Structure 1
């Protein structure tokens, strides 16, 4: 029987992660996540001299938990090492480390990651012998670990620049974080879809082809619509380029989530939305918002406000790019290999269902493929059952002793205060949710992107990736959290509502980039709003009302 307990790995404080995974972690994902992500965090934190030394990750009771470990905790750093760390923190701002990191990301890291992804994409797991597939599953697991490390190595610059802008602007203007984040709208194209250029080119090709427009308009089987588009003499090449770019993208953090290729209805919806609703940048509205907010900045801080905003705008795309070009792509390849292993093992009775393969780790799958001893089909089925029936609501928010309050800013050495305040501001705005009361028909959260949406599309609850195939343009997306990979198949929804997340969260970024109302951090939307209900989403007040 699969009976995981909530026993912590040490005597520290472990906090439940409710922002990334709404369910327990699949068994395949566990080792690459726990090994790769903390290593990336540690490197990025050291690069910026942050006094948070490590961000550990553990799987406890099947769920993802995190532990923040201060630099030098328990006397592990000498006074000289502490001085060097603090000086690095100050240098990061003087020398604007993030500019160099962003250039290195564009010129070296991102192209290298893409090349590694494409090399794996060329391998068709279905053509491999069992021994070869076992090796390939292992390579996909190792690639996923490397991509988790890459993703989180760039967490520090992503958080630092946005947090620094917010920290100053919140103090100087009295304007809320949502309005301030709105000044970054239009700076993260990847947040509206991974293959932005390919989708735009496809939309242009369809718009210029009568036959392609007719094919796209045909109701019914989405697979047939996609086949007709790829065969169209005018739009076909653009359609094939777009589908090749997105088909192996995971739409979640876990290999248990489907890839875009498994959601043809959502892909058709995304293409239809791109053709019908081209999105513009902030334009005059963005200029007007900037003018209004700038007018509230005291004269003595105006130059610094402009400078911090100037730095935050180009760095903003790193928030979603670091995920989209790393583990989001790698998870899709891993899923492709794991499901092929699942099909073979289910065919010979070693698994009860091909989908259960995600709840065996890479070594277990390799052993089963080679005919060696491994977990029984019943054991893996029990893991799968537990993972797919539990949610973060079933896990304790804290394992271990209660977290200690952070030290006051005044207790931080002066050269490290700006960095500490930037990180604290970014993290509090990302993870903290309001404590305003909800009731049976009205939910309250953080307002994202002014405006009101009220049907005609219904609320569509998305518990996991498979639910995306039920979304149609104009629906209201209601989900626990969104990931940067949702945009692979995200059509033009009318509004976004989430349980978790703050103003820098992916859901908020998407709402701003699409120019649609959003309310995040409601805590209870997925429990209160019935699937199919008509709701009124007010992106100005942060209120969601169930109308019927």
Structure 2
């Protein structure tokens, strides 16, 4: 920067035609690039920049000099309204785009200009940007102000295909403003212009014609030629002119970001299934500890105590994806069962003998008899309610109160050891098996005496899983409080990452209520991996949900009353049908119904306390370890800690070894795995059905219940749906028509608008806060007893689960009709 530039950089406003605007350190990368292109003759709208130096002071309000200068903008930019956009010195760089990380405010008039500039400026210090930036740094924020283009069509164009890496121009276009494309509010037309000049047009085009598409392709190519590398541009067409709104290097080409490091595919003998429900994406190295400690180490002893004829679960990482299998009691090693071929079932006469003489099977049969005779399932549910859950709650409260940053390395390592010990508490698995047995008994008696299927039976339990609805109930209380406070209601009309920080200045009482809500409900991981931020780390998403509840006038009391009514109606119908049955049948039904109603809430409850919160606490420990290792130059960035296994991260606190290379390799392998998803199964599945009819009554009940429960939870395998309909498992009755919104994880909660049909890989109990905003739900995985199915029934919204490829087939903005009674999703 020259002395003259340095002097002019102190000016509060810099025009795009001023040469100083071409200096990224002053105007930020976005504005500087546009200034360069405008001087080169490209059709870039005029604009002014609030330089980064003017906004470098860490404060909550704009400096007085900036506020005064903004009063001159109407003279400098006569056309209005304006678009106010970020131009950070870190965004639109070759290292990272920061796309979607900063705030943009459209349709700004003079009286709202200062507030819009402030919102954009403050978005540069949000938690989301801090997490995205990692070790790269967030840069300094400049703000760009330009006249809005009244677009007839707008969109983006890539001069290299960002998926395949081929050198061709990919154009995405929508009618009207490009914001509809960026926000997911419209499904774009996708045009492809090859290097040889051939043009591929989508069916039913409305935004572009071939001539306009070629003009956009030519513009993108000229920008690439001028800037010297592949570009991602934003464009708009208005009044016959093609405007260039933004240009940035493509940072998502194959090879950009984490290096893709191939993983050799080595498939162990036997049959393996990928758990797409718990792990819709490859699990992180650190996150694997939840699987090993809570499942692989605990389930063998739990199966033995209940008399389940499964010796142990096994896991294998194949191509970066986690695959599981269950090994039956007494089964020979896979390589002795014919290697990779289909295992052959012994004849029934031999099975009958084995059931009686095999020592391991006899031990499990006796264990099942003891479990049923002592009513172990009911005992476990009682212990959860009266002993285990309170213990978990007390320990979690102590953990959340800790200042991890104030601990010594030894104390931090001890906290990790303690967390892993608690993750391995048997209550998570014990309650699951007990729940399956008790609820299976209800399903079996309803099938036998009433001829009901599982879906009909579950109506008897509707509304009892209060853990699924309590976060939304409390959020509704916040919405009611906000609605009564005009200042808060106004603040919630424009929620961004900085809004939670501003609550106290607007309304201290509401700020305290919101803080209590976050502490009580938000320290939960929404997926089953420590790599994902939780809602306590992104509280602005919760404020957007509060705003949604105000809009839809959600009533938790009406919700609870509707569930109680449906539950009572189902019970009344059952009793009418049983009126002609013997008294013993009626008493049996009432006894089993009472037990199931006591057990039913425990499923979601134990996931909250033993899994969701524990995963969040592990994440906090991992981040603190990562901060220390990054400060000591043993990791390149704090977030790289997730690519170390938990115990290796612990060791790194003390051994002084550099972990940057192992983390780089693990990150690259995970990135490769995400780009190369494995098949749903490897090997041949066992043939035939388990011969449970050969077992004594108690062992038969236990094992049928576990097989039934796991099938109802994970769902049956589904074939890929065609383009006309999506078919899955009917999970919550009703029919709803609305706009689809594909949400691949909790990081996309902000896409959800009131009344949307949310389409996602799966949900966890932490998603319960967004259910009041949904019109219906469609998931790729899960069965009728899975978390998304349970929460949908509790909220009374239609749901189809286990649809296989819904997130690939459906697009944002498509009109779909969800039939939760038949399991069919109609497109169009």
Indicate whether the TM-score tops 0.5. Answer: yes
| Residue among 419, 427, 431 paired with 1:154 | 431
Shift of 1:299: 2.5
Q: 1:443 to 1:277 in 2, by over 3 A?
A: same
Q: Does 1:539 align with 2:820?
A: yes
Shift of 1:171: 4.2
Q: 1:517 to 1:401 in 2, by over 3 A?
A: closer
CA distance in 1 between partners of 2:645 and 2:736 (Å)? 44
Q: Does 1:20 align with 2:302?
A: no
Choose 51-60 or 318-327, whichever is displaced more: 51-60
Shift of 1:315: 0.5
Larger relative CO (CA 8 A, sep 6+): 1 or 2? 1
Choose 338-347 or 326-335, whichever is displaced more: 338-347
Matched position secondary structure for 2:314: strand
**Deviations 1:5-24, CA, capped at 9 Å, x for gaps:** 45456x44332212211111
Shift of 1:372: 1.9
Choose 268-277 or 517-526, whichever is displaced more: 268-277
Q: 1:367 to 1:435 in 2, by over 3 A?
A: closer
CA distance in 2 between partners of 1:230 and 1:388 (Å)? 42
**Deviations 1:263-316, CA, capped at 9 Å, x for gaps:** 334312343455631233223333223334555568354443333222211101
| Correspondence for 1:106 | 385
Q: 1:53 to 1:423 in 2, by over 3 A?
A: same
Contact 2:818 2:825 in 1 (8 A): yes
CA distance in 2 between partners of 1:403 and 1:243 (Å)? 47
| Correspondence for 1:372 | 656
Q: 1:221 to 1:32 in 2, by over 3 A?
A: closer
| Correspondence for 1:361 | 645
Contact 1:248 1:329 in 2 (8 A): yes
Q: Does 1:351 align with 2:635?
A: yes
Q: 1:23 to 1:296 in 2, by over 3 A?
A: farther
| Correspondence for 2:299 | 41
| Correspondence for 2:777 | 496
Matched position secondary structure for 2:462: coil
| Correspondence for 1:299 | 581
Matched position secondary structure for 1:326: helix
Shift of 1:325: 0.4
CA distance in 2 between partners of 1:356 and 1:485 (Å)? 25
Q: Does 1:424 align with 2:707?
A: yes
Choose 494-503 or 154-163, whichever is displaced more: 154-163
| Correspondence for 1:29 | 287
Tell me which protein shows more strand as a share of its residues.
2
Shift of 1:416: 1.7
Shift of 1:397: 3.1
Shift of 1:469: 3.0
Contact 1:134 1:369 in 2 (8 A): no
| Correspondence for 1:384 | 667
Matched position secondary structure for 1:183: helix
Choose 219-228 or 491-500, whichever is displaced more: 219-228
Q: 1:134 to 1:532 in 2, by over 3 A?
A: farther
Q: 1:482 to 1:3 in 2, by over 3 A?
A: same
CA distance in 1 between partners of 2:758 and 2:673 (Å)? 21
| Residue among 763, 770, 782 paired with 1:482 | 763
| Correspondence for 1:413 | 696
| Residue among 443, 460, 468 paired with 1:183 | 460
Contact 1:215 1:228 in 2 (8 A): no
Question: RMSD of the TM alignment (CA)?
Answer: 3.3
CA distance in 2 between partners of 1:80 and 1:495 (Å)? 50
**Deviations 1:226-255, CA, capped at 9 Å, x for gaps:** 742797354444322111123422111110
Shift of 1:62: 2.9
Choose 281-290 or 472-481, whichever is displaced more: 281-290
Shift of 1:513: 0.5
Matched position secondary structure for 1:299: coil
CA distance in 1 between partners of 2:285 and 2:322 (Å)? 12
Matched position secondary structure for 2:298: helix
Tell me which protein shows more helix as a share of its residues.
1
| Correspondence for 2:403 | 124
Contact 1:266 1:468 in 2 (8 A): yes
Shift of 1:332: 0.7
What TM-score, normalized to structure 1? 0.87
Matched position secondary structure for 1:23: coil
Shift of 1:212: 7.1
| Residue among 606, 614, 618 paired with 1:322 | 606
Larger Rg: 2
What does 1:434-445 correspond to in 2, within 5 Å?
A: 435=718, 438-445=721-728
Contact 1:430 1:503 in 2 (8 A): yes
